[in-house]
Amino acid sequence: MKELSAELKGAPGKLHALKGDVSKEEDILAAFDWVKKNLGRIDVLVNNAGVLYLSMLTDGETSHWKQMFDLNVLGLSICTREAFKLMKEKGVDDGHIIHINSIDGHMPVSVPGLAHYFASKHAVTVLTEGLRRELVQLGSKIRVTSISPGVVDTDMFRSFIDGTQVSEDEFPALKSEDIANAVTYALGTPPHVQNGLIVVGLARRAELVEELSTQLKGAPGKLHAFKGDASKEEDILAAFDWIKKNLGRIDVLVNNAAILHMLSLMDENTSQWRQMFDLNVLGLSICTREAFKLMKEKGVDDGHIIHINGVLGHTLGNLPGLIPYVTTKYAVTVLTEGLRRELVQLGSKIRVTRWSGRVALVTGASVGIGAAIVRELVKNGLIVVGLARRAELVEELSAELKDSPGKLHALKGDLTKEEDILAAFDWIKKNLGRIDVLVNNAGVLYLSMLTGGETSQWKQIFDLNVIGLSISSREAFKLMKEKGVDDGHIIHINSVAGHSLVNFPGLAPYSASKHASISPGGVDTDMVKSVTGQGPLPEGEFPLLQAEDIANAVTYVLGTPPHVQVHEITIRPIGEKY
């Protein structure tokens, strides 16, 4: 721990090392006493300590069972109690308690000898929900989160492998950093969210950037205008030199500059070909190199390099005269992946955005969660198709987002009708050439009792929430497979009603449809308003999430590296009682 503290000495925060055994109550109490005396308060607790032994129920060691429960369950409980007491004493009502659980806390035992470990993790699942309900009862806004990873490449995993005949190849493992990223997301500061940045706008028409700077003068960040041509190396070097001298560092690079000329390969216009390659490929490459050099020099290891690509970087368009331009965009796709691999090889944590210019389909995109997801994806540079019965609302959203890096296409369709779904995928194939992301968001809810409900309403719920989702998923997979998309993503917007029967009369058919995935609790949408008859909900009785909260979860999922499979995210509003 002291070595880690020394390694992080240049970081904005500070790490203190404390020696203690989390299976011993006296050590835990001593740790919280030190925190109180030396730091005065606690805002976040991450219960990560755990132990695993292979131990059969028929002949296992009592000492091993006791160690697992003393650390994995009792130690976690004592730490939670002491953290809550100190938060309450110091008036911390926006704290966060995070339990590092396991997928083993949600499934039956699958490996002989792991029954006690699974039992300890199931206990963590129950304790998480129990704590959430206690906090609601106390009227506290302290949050509690359980993060349940699969296999992670840790000493615990390696000791388990050593004790079995199983090879590491049979268990593809996450990295510890993937879980750390999930923690930062849960804390509300995911790596992709950055506000109040100091921005340098490089452009040939710098006067337009200056006008934008004036327009943004009340914003938390600051915009500097720098005149330069991103197709000229000397201008790029001058810009980075100015940044280094005046701002001292760079954290984010957005390679957005590009030019398009409609040219046939037979045209004798070499100068326009050269302009496209000099700006779209070479300029991007030089900017990337200089940004990385400055990041490395200044110790910025959490920077971000974003290439604004285009759908034509992934598929050959139908318009004549686009081949040279498409070539430059394919080059950007290759450069993005090449840079990502180089950074991995160098052990750098600088990120490269891989979804810009890719194609996403969002169902139920006209309002609420769907519209919020569309906004986030388009702002992150994706080409989005919004499929909805009220396509005119998606068109309005498209107009609102016209200056964003991505693009939104509105398609009219009813997800309960297979022919509409097939027509949508046919349009995507013909006009965009591929699909990379599917967000199954469309859904419907009727209050309908099993004892006297309408058959037509039950049929609508299942036709949309289950069958429509299934057809969309099938067609997305078929098109991905046909186009060689092997890193695509299918996201189901589920519901907490898909994990337990909510204590609300008339919701049984809806809950059944959601058992069939991001799972939010109540969200302030038209669907909720339809259930409540448009009237206001009793104050404090039904706290609701905002649609943007779900959209942020989608962008978090898409932002995880290719080796990470986020299987389930459950999001509840603070104070939810059910």
| DSSP letter for each residue of 120-137 | HHHHHHHHHHHHHHHHHH
Q: Which residues contact 306 (CB under 8 A, 6 or more apart)?
A: 252, 253, 254, 255, 352, 353, 356, 381
pLDDT at 523: 72
| More confident site: 160 or 257 | 257
CB 113 within 8 A of CB 103: no
The answer to whether residues 117 and 169 belong to one domain is yes
The answer to whether residues 471 and 544 belong to one domain is yes
Question: Of 133, 163, 186, which residue is a domain's last?
Answer: 186
173 pLDDT above the threshold of 80: no
| More confident site: 325 or 413 | 413
Question: Of 352, 387, 414, which residue is a domain's last?
Answer: 352
**Quick one: CA dihedral 316, 320, 324, 329, positive or negative?**
negative
Q: How far is CA 426 from the centre of its chain?
A: 29
Confidence category of residue 519, pLDDT binned at 50, 70, 90: low
Mean pLDDT of 355-379: 87
Burial status of residue 236 (CB atoms within 10 A of its CB: 0-12, 13-18, 19 or more): buried
State how far the Cα of 403 lies from the Cα of 417, in Å rounded to an integer.
33
Confidence category of residue 502, pLDDT binned at 50, 70, 90: very low
Mean pLDDT of 67-82: 90
pLDDT at 55: 80
| More confident site: 309 or 482 | 482
The answer to whether residues 178 and 231 belong to one domain is no
Q: Is the pTM of this model over 0.85?
A: no
3-class DSSP state of 45? strand
Residue 442: count of CB within 10 angstroms of its CB:
25
Print the domain residue range for 263.
Answer: 198-352
The answer to whether residues 172 and 274 belong to one domain is no
Residue 124: count of CB within 10 angstroms of its CB:
22
* 192 within domain boundaries: no
pLDDT at 556: 75
State how far the Cα of 15 lies from the Cα of 37, in Å rounded to an integer.
16
pLDDT at 239: 95
The 10s digit of each residue's pLDDT in 97-155 is 999 888 777 766 567 788 888 888 888 888 888 888 888 888 888 888 888 887 777 66
State how far the Cα of 506 lies from the Cα of 109, in Å rounded to an integer.
34
Confidence category of residue 545, pLDDT binned at 50, 70, 90: confident
* 460 within domain boundaries: yes
What percent of the chain has a predicted confidence (pLDDT) above 90?
25
CB 27 within 8 A of CB 21: yes
Q: What is the DSSP letter of 174?
A: B
How many domains does the chain contain in total?
3
424 pLDDT above the threshold of 90: yes
Name the one residue in this structure whose structure tokens are 């000397």. 234
Beta bridge partners of 359: 383
pLDDT at 390: 92
Which amino acid would we find at residue 555?
Answer: T
Question: Of 299, 326, 352, which residue is a domain's last?
Answer: 352
State how far the Cα of 221 lies from the Cα of 219, in Å rounded to an integer.
6
193 pLDDT above the threshold of 50: no
Question: What long-range pairs does 9-18 form, CB within 8 A, spacing at least 24?
Answer: 10/299
The answer to whether residues 333 and 371 belong to one domain is no
Ranking 27-36, 157-166, 331-340, 346-355 by mean pLDDT, the lowest is: 157-166
Name the one residue in this structure whose structure tokens are 């020394």. 6
Q: Phi, psi at residue 241, to the nearest 5°?
A: -65, -40
Q: Phi, psi at residue 363, to the nearest 5°?
A: -90, 155
What stretches of 216-322 show up as alpha helix (H) in DSSP?
233-246, 270-277, 284-297
The answer to whether residues 217 and 294 belong to one domain is yes
pLDDT at 28: 94
* 95 within domain boundaries: yes
pLDDT at 510: 38
Question: Which residue, among 398, 479, 494, has the nearest Cα to 437 in the 3D structure?
Answer: 479
Confidence category of residue 86, pLDDT binned at 50, 70, 90: very high
pLDDT at 392: 94
190 pLDDT above the threshold of 50: no
157 pLDDT above the threshold of 60: no
What percent of the chain has a predicted confidence (pLDDT) above 70?
77
The answer to whether residues 177 and 233 belong to one domain is no
C-alpha distance across the termini of the chain, in Å = 40
| More confident site: 107 or 79 | 79
The answer to whether residues 408 and 317 belong to one domain is no
The answer to whether residues 39 and 99 belong to one domain is yes
Beta bridge partners of 545: 523
Q: Which residues contact 135 (CB under 8 A, 6 or more apart)?
A: 141, 142, 144
| More confident site: 451 or 78 | 78
Question: Which residue, among 486, 524, 521, 369, has the nearest Cα to 439 in the 3D structure?
Answer: 369
pLDDT at 160: 53
Burial status of residue 79 (CB atoms within 10 A of its CB: 0-12, 13-18, 19 or more): buried
The answer to whether residues 347 and 253 belong to one domain is yes
Mean pLDDT of 296-306: 83
242 pLDDT above the threshold of 60: yes
* 444 within domain boundaries: yes
| More confident site: 24 or 544 | 24
Q: Which residues contact 331 (CB under 8 A, 6 or more apart)?
A: 280, 281
pLDDT at 508: 39
Q: Which residues contact 224 (CB under 8 A, 6 or more apart)?
A: 198, 199, 200, 201, 213, 246, 247
Q: What is the mean pLDDT of the chain?
A: 79
User: What tokens does 509 get?
Assistant: 């058919």
CB 382 within 8 A of CB 437: yes
| More confident site: 221 or 448 | 221
b/e per residue, 371-404, with b = 16+ CB within 10 A?
bbbbbbbbebbbbbbbbbbebebbbebbeebeeb
The answer to whether residues 161 and 29 belong to one domain is yes
CATH number at residue 99: 3.40.50.720
Cα–Cα distances in angstroms (integers) from residue 297 to residues 241, 244, 353, 439, in the given order? 13, 10, 22, 40
pLDDT at 492: 81
Ranking 170-184, 389-403, 561-575 by mean pLDDT, the lowest is: 561-575
* 304 within domain boundaries: yes
562 pLDDT above the threshold of 50: yes
* 320 within domain boundaries: yes
* 193 within domain boundaries: no
The answer to whether residues 161 and 103 belong to one domain is yes
* Residues known to be catalytic: 510
CB 523 within 8 A of CB 547: yes
State how far the Cα of 501 lies from the Cα of 479, in Å rounded to an integer.
35
CB 229 within 8 A of CB 235: yes
* 578 within domain boundaries: no
